[in-house]
Amino acid sequence: MAAHGVKTLIYSSTCATYGEPEKMPITEETPQVPINPYGKAKKMAEDIILDFSKDSNMAVMILRYFNVIGSDPEGRLGEAPRPELREHGRISGACFDAARGIIPGLQIKGTDYKTVDGTCVRDYIDVTDLVDAHVKALEKAKPRKVGIFNVGTGKGSSVKEFVEACKKATGVDIKVDYLERRAGDYAEVYSDPSKIREELNWTAKHTNLHESLETAWRWQKLHRNGYASSPLVSAY
């Protein structure tokens, strides 16, 4: 990137770099102790960027996303993973696949965590808010500076709460199977968004789970084969 004259880098990192912190909510100063390969790989990339930045004029922003959901409200973009990656996607994708009958039901892995209902708690950030965070980060990026920000709502919702919101959004009584825990999952993570609010003037606006899932479900129904079934494509 430096060799080709790139002046600004916005890096997509993740809250998974924190692992399972002892205290909530998570701030940018929370120790990074990732417990799964995804978090470890993202932290390694962050470390490389920070080392590089010591002798670079590049403007850098590192955004640590929490759990992304939703779709473009205007219907232009939605979640459509490649078939071979489908089973490794987000919980929203699995909920929608179950609602559409692509899979027989939803599997919830772990019901004995130390949370309000035994399932994992996550901070779900709407993709529209995430886009806005990128725009704000680009506006504030400065040469020879590195900004690190959590991008989340500041509140957590359990997997069971998420599934109930998805049932309501789709109108389908999704079949749910409860299984043993999955290795590498952490019980509870949610952000403290104070820093990004104060320094980038960003605050999550789309914080209603049901509404975000309803928007995403609308896109799924219109694009049953992903982008291949786009109304623009099918018209020809």
190 is catalytic: no
- Considering 38, 65, 178, 190, which one is annotated as catalytic? 38
Contacts 24+ apart (CB under 8 A), 181-187: 181/109, 181/110, 181/112, 181/113, 182/109, 182/110, 183/36, 184/35, 184/36, 184/37, 185/36, 185/109, 185/110, 185/120, 186/19, 186/20, 186/35, 186/120, 187/20, 187/113, 187/114, 187/115, 187/120, 187/121
Q: State how far the Cα of 226 lies from the Cα of 39, in Å rounded to an integer.
A: 28
Calpha distance 229→236 (Å, rounded): 11
Cα–Cα distance, 39 to 45 (Å, whole number): 10
Residues marked active site are found at: 38
